[in-house]
Amino acid sequence: MSLKSLLKAELVLAKQDIVSKKRVLESLSEVASNRLHCDNEAVYDALLGREKLGSTGIGNGIAIPHCRLESANHTAIVIMSLQNPIDFDSIDKRSVDLIFALIVPPHECDQHLATLAQIAELAQSPQALDQLRAAQTNEDLFNIFDSLI
C-alpha cells in the first residue's frame, strides 16, 4: 500500500501546540480513532505499548509512532508537525517536531513494514524535511507531503 493511497487531508495537522510525548500520543489517538471508527483508548494503549518497547523517535527531529490494532479495519497514517520541538527519547537525543503515525490492522503486516520504510526514507532528505517544517497550515502540510511521495 502506497503512502499516497493512505494520505487523507483530515489526518494532517500542522503546527500543533503540543508540549509532551504523552499529549502527542493522545492527540494522534483521537484523530486516528475517528478515522478508523475504533476506540480512542485502544489506539492510545497500542501506541503507548509500542513506545514502551523503545522510542519511535528515529532521529533528525522525526518520530514514527506505530502500532497494530485489532479493531482497525484499514490502515491510517496521521501526519503532524509541532510548533515547538519536544523530547521524544529519540535515538539521536534530538527533539521531535515532525510525526508520522501509522496504525494498521494485524493482517497488513507486510504493508506496515513497507510503509514504515517509505517514511524512514523520506526522513533522510533534509530538503523534504525543511519543506514539511515550513508548512504553516494543514492544507500546506498535506500538499507538501503529497508532492514528496
**Which triple of cell numbers denotes residue 15?**
503546527
Q: What percent of the chain clears pLDDT 70, i.e. is strictly above it?
A: 97
Greatest Cα-to-Cα distance within the chain, rounded to the nearest angstrom: 37
CA distance 31 to 38: 11
Q: Which domains does the chain have, with CATH numbers?
A: 10-148 (3.40.930.10)
Other C-beta atoms closer than 10 Å to the C-beta of 19 total 13
| Candidate list 37, 66, 74, 112, residue with the active-site label | 66
> H or E stretch including 98?
strand 96-104
| Per-residue pLDDT tens digits for 25-36 | 999 999 999 888
Concerning whether 107 is annotated as a catalytic residue, the answer is no
CA distance 67 to 64: 10
Against a cut of 0.85, is the pTM above it? yes
